[in-house]
């Protein structure tokens, strides 16, 4: 049952329900422009998910660094080791007891929900179900999430997202805590985590990146804190971040090679230009060779004429031909 279509004609929830009710296994791929979300299904249940857009969702390794479960150095080390073995880095973390299998399953479920939350905000896009394929075939850890639960959560996101985006239209907005908050809301864990990050300097995008609870949940918590009178917008708008430029390292050997090649090319160009403007050296040598050949030829003619004259004096008559002189041994 491989099929494809458009979100406008057959929505995300409808596609989920179709695959779930028929208990199919495969990969469901959604794409809008260059953004791609992929969901792995096992017998109708969602087992994995991925999102190719950078800056929106953090990989599990980066998420673990963010929440303090592992350092960046340790993550790089395990990432190198996992690549050598050809296994996902999360499996390497479980193997080295950085995570338990249960911890990893909970994180994967959270990441699946985070990706599906993002998917339900899409208004346009194409989808295609690839029957029998698997998203992470080498992973040892597997989870099964009921898509019906994700549909309920996703539909709630659809209802809440427009009002959230209306209150927080730009990710560069900076919030600060109110000096005298009304505290008219009962804060949950997500609101507490997000409130700790509000310092009047971090913009929404920075809070999303640092909260560790996902993009939608961070926005939802900010919305609740804003509506509850706990935080307020500042006049500050964060400037777009400049991409860090990595220093370019050039070896001495590379510099020497470049200089040698540059010198060779300049020498070749100089010779070509000189050849066009001035007569090349071989032309001059050719001219000298031609002149020398003419000189020798004239000398030989003069020598023959002198021999003919000697022959006339000796024999009393001129020779009939040069061949006669040769036969009689006057010259070789």
Q: What's the whole-number average pLDDT of the chain? A: 80
Beta partners for residue 274, in sequence order: none
User: How far, in Å, CA of 59 to CA of 42, rounded?
Assistant: 22
Confidence of residue 282 (pLDDT cuts 50, 70, 90): very low
How many residues are given for the chain? Answer: 332
Which of 30-34, 102-106, 241-245, 264-268 reaches the highest mean pLDDT? 30-34
Which of 48-52, 167-171, 243-247, 291-295 reaches the highest mean pLDDT? 167-171
Which of 22-31, 222-231, 306-315 reaches the highest mean pLDDT? 22-31
CATH architecture of 168-237: Orthogonal Bundle (1.10)
Can you give the pLDDT at residue 217? 86
Question: What is the average per-residue pLDDT within 33-50?
Answer: 92
Tell me which DSSP letter residue 126 carries.
E
Question: What is the average per-residue pLDDT within 111-115?
Answer: 87
Higher pLDDT, 205 or 57: 205
Can you give the pLDDT at residue 237? 74
Question: Per residue in 137-149, pLDDT tens?
Answer: 666 677 899 999 9
Q: Which of 63, 75, 161, 159 is nearest to 112 (CA)?
A: 63
Percent of the chain having pLDDT more than 70?
81
Domain boundaries, the chain: 3-159, 168-237, 253-327
Higher pLDDT, 140 or 220: 220
Confidence of residue 32 (pLDDT cuts 50, 70, 90): very high
Q: Which of 5, 12, 42 is nearest to 152 (CA)?
A: 12
Can you give the pLDDT at residue 38? 93
Confidence of residue 117 (pLDDT cuts 50, 70, 90): confident
pLDDT at 292 over 60: no
User: How far, in Å, CA of 190 to CA of 173, rounded?
Assistant: 19
User: What string of DSSP letters covers 222-245?
Assistant: HHHHHHTTSEEEEEEEPPPPPPPP
Can you give the pLDDT at residue 24? 93
Question: What is the average per-residue pLDDT within 158-177?
Answer: 90
Confidence of residue 107 (pLDDT cuts 50, 70, 90): confident
Percent of the chain having pLDDT more than 90?
24
Confidence of residue 125 (pLDDT cuts 50, 70, 90): very high
Can you give the pLDDT at residue 90? 80
Residue pair 213/221 in contact (Cβ under 8 Å)? The answer is: yes
Residue pair 246/187 in contact (Cβ under 8 Å)? The answer is: no
pLDDT at 195 over 70: yes
Chain CA centroid to CA 52, Å:
11
In the three-class reduction of DSSP (H, G, I as helix; E, B as strand; rest coil), residue 44 is classed as coil
Question: Per the structure block, which two tokens stand in for 283?
Answer: 């032309």
């Amino acid at each position: 049952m491989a099929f494809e279509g458009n979100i406008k004609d057959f929505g995300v929830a409808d596609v989920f329900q179709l695959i779930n009710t028929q208990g199919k296994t495969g990969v469901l791929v959604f794409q809008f422009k260059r953004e791609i979300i992929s969901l792995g299904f096992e017998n109708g249940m969602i087992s994995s998910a991925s999102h190719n857009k950078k800056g929106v969702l953090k990989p599990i390794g980066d998420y673990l660094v963010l929440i303090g479960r592992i350092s960046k150095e340790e993550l790089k080390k395990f990432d190198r080791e996992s690549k050598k073995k050809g296994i996902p880095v999360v499996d390497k973390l479980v193997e080295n007891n950085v995570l338990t299998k249960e911890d990893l399953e909970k994180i994967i479920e959270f990441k699946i929900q985070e990706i599906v939350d993002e998917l339900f905000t899409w208004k346009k896009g194409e989808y295609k179900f690839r029957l029998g394929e698997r998203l992470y075939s080498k992973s040892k850890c597997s989870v099964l999430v009921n898509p019906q639960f994700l549909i309920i959560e996703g539909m709630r996101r659809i209802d809440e997202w427009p009002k959230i985006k209306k209150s927080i239209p730009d990710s560069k907005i900076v919030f600060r805590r109110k000096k005298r908050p009304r505290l008219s809301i009962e804060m949950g864990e997500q609101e507490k985590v997000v409130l700790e990050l509000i310092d009047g300097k971090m913009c929404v995008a920075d809070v999303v990146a640092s909260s560790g609870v996902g993009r939608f949940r961070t926005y939802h918590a900010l919305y609740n804190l804003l509506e509850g009178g706990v935080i307020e917008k500042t006049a500050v708008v964060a400037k777009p971040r400049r991409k860090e430029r990595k220093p370019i390292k050039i070896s001495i050997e590379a510099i020497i090679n470049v200089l040698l090649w540059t010198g060779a090319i300049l020498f070749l160009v100089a010779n070509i230009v000189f050849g066009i403007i001035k007569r090349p050296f071989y032309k001059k040598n050719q001219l000298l060779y031609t002149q020398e050949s003419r000189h020798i030829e004239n000398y030989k003619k003069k020598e023959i004429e002198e021999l003919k004259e000697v022959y006339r004096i000796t024999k009393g008559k001129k020779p009939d031909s040069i061949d006669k002189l040769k036969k009689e041994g006057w010259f070789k």
